[in-house]
């Protein structure tokens, strides 16, 4: 009697630790070999696009924070530049440099998290602790400038919320040196580790032709040898003034993706250092002639109508607002009263500033781009992150669409997994760096 064999269907996730609670893989197995994969997404769908269509343009930033929540600053920059392209406005030079600095810090934190988490899932727990230590160094920088660590809502249409704090540059150089030390340690722990090497080499391969056909970008595409990077192909902000390379691999396997991300972190650190060397001072040296008063006192005096001297005073703000005062305003915000919120001193110190603020935050008024549609891409940590916005002339977008770099990679995931072993699924999925907030939107 002939022996009948049947393949087994196995659910991996969403509760599987390596699936991060947000992905379900329905796997067809022949023993330990993967014969088929069905990827099910949607476990973290938050209706990002529809929510953005119900609020004013400036109110979309908290939603963008929650796309790729490991590198939210890049999301902020991408959305702001899309709206600015629609409005046809430019921002001050200093604000451009600050956006790049914060974006590259955010990119490094993303790659640190990806490599650390995927190494931990292969058993390299020490690497995870090293990487999170390095990420903590950079989160301290992010917190100092934005007032938050993860959901930062830092960028503004027409500029950024706050200028760099005094002493920030020196502190950043020290943190960069600390991060480089950790990267050297991790390289010694992983790159020459026979277990890690064997678990990654030749696993999860995809060809350059297939990657392009699926629309894959970012480190996943560059691991196949295609040197496509939005910062080089379509330079934005001041990336064309920076000297940096686009690391690529050759085989498109998990090991190459690890090498590409490790090399990209060094390039990002180089870019940050160059920005500090090039960044203009901007009009921030002029001191106000008044005194420094607490923000609560300014508000109380304004309520009583005692605003005569407030225009000359500077406000002592809490950390979440510090830096966005009148002294720094011209350096970090475009001179567009119909787009950019006025400085706090003007809002509370004179009727013109109060009316300007009032108009921009009141429903039915706000920022009103001309009728039209626009798409703008930036280089996210996982690839090309693009926003498409359609305006009908109102103060809220008629249509918002986001191109998430994770989505095409997840579409191609079966191509990377089929034919491999069940145990290798973890390393391949980790190399995707799938962020569900960006994937499901």
What is the average pLDDT score of the chain?
87
**Separation between Cα atoms, residue 6 and residue 18, nearest integer Å:** 26
Please give the CATH topology (third level) of the domain spanning 48-280+372-440.
Cytochrome-c3 Hydrogenase; chain B (1.10.645)
Q: Are 440 and 41 in contact (CB under 8 A)?
A: yes
The 8-class DSSP code of residue 421 comes to: B
**Separation between Cα atoms, residue 157 and residue 82, nearest integer Å:** 9
| Sign of the CA dihedral running 333, 335, 341, 344 | positive
Per-residue pLDDT of the chain (441 residues), as tens digits, is 566 777 888 888 788 887 878 888 898 888 888 888 898 888 888 899 999 999 999 999 999 998 988 999 999 999 999 999 999 999 999 999 999 999 999 999 999 999 999 899 888 889 999 999 999 999 999 998 888 888 989 999 988 988 888 888 999 999 999 999 999 999 999 988 899 888 888 888 999 999 999 999 989 999 999 999 999 999 999 999 999 999 998 998 999 999 999 999 999 999 999 999 999 886 554 455 567 777 777 777 777 777 666 666 677 666 555 566 777 888 888 888 889 888 877 787 778 888 998 999 988 888 999 999 999 999 999 999 999 999 999 999 999 999 999 999 999 989 988 888 888 888 888 888 888 888 888
Query: Looking at residue 285, what is its pLDDT?
Result: 47
296-301-306 Cα angle (round to 5): 160
Q: Are 401 and 259 in contact (CB under 8 A)?
A: no
Domain ranges of the chain: 48-280+372-440, 292-361
137-74-215 Cα angle (round to 5): 125
187-200 confidence digits (pLDDT tens): 999 988 899 888 88
Q: Is the pTM of this model over 0.85?
A: yes
Rounded to whole angstroms, what are the CA distances from 319 to 67, 107, 143, 165?
24, 23, 9, 10
């Amino acid at each position: 009697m002939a022996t009948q064999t049947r393949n087994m269907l196995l659910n991996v996730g969403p509760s599987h630790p390596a699936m991060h609670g947000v992905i379900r893989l329905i796997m067809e197995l022949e023993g330990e070999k993967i014969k088929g994969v069905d990827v099910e997404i949607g476990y973290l769908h938050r209706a990002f696009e529809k929510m953005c269509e119900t609020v004013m343009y400036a109110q979309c930033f908290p939603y963008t924070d929650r796309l790729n929540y490991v590198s939210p600053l890049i999301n902020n920059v991408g959305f702001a530049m899309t709206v600015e392209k629609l409005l046809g406005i430019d921002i001050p030079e200093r604000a451009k440099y600050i956006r790049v600095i914060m974006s590259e810090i955010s990119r490094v934190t993303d790659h640190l998290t990806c490599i650390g988490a995927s190494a931990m899932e292969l058993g390299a727990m020490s690497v995870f602790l090293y990487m999170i230590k390095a990420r903590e160094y950079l989160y301290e920088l992010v917190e100092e400038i934005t007032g938050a660590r993860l959901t930062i809502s830092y960028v503004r249409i027409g500029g950024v919320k706050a200028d760099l704090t005094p002493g920030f540059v020196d502190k950043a150089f020290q943190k960069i040196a600390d991060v480089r030390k950790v990267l050297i340690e991790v390289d010694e722990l992983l790159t020459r580790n026979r277990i890690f090497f064997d678990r990654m080499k030749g696993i999860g391969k995809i060809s350059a032709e297939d990657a392009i056909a699926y629309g894959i970008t970012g480190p996943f595409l560059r691991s196949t040898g295609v040197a496509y990077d939005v910062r080089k192909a379509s330079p934005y902000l001041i990336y064309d003034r920076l000297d940096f390379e686009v690391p690529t691999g050759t085989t498109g396997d998990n090991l190459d993706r690890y090498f590409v991300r490790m090399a990209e972190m060094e390039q990002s650190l180089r870019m940050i250092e160059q920005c500090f060397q090039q960044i203009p001072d901007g009009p921030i040296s002029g001191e106000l002639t008044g005194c420094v008063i607490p923000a609560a006192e300014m508000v109380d005096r304004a309520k009583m109508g005692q605003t005569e001297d407030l225009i000359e005073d500077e406000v002592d703000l809490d950390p979440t607002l510090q830096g966005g005062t009148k002294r720094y305003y011209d350096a970090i915000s475009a001179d567009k009263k119909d787009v950019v919120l006025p400085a706090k001193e003007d809002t509370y110190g004179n009727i013109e500033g109060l009316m300007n603020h009032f108009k921009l935050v009141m429903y039915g008024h706000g920022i009103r781009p001309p009728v039209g549609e626009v798409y703008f891409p930036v280089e996210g940590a996982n690839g090309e992150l693009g926003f498409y916005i359609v305006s009908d002339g109102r103060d809220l977008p008629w249509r918002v669409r986001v191109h998430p770099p994770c989505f095409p990679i997840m579409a191609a995931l079966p191509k990377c997994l089929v034919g491999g072993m069940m145990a290798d699924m973890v390393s391949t999925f980790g190399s995707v760096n799938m962020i569900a907030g960006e994937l499901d939107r």
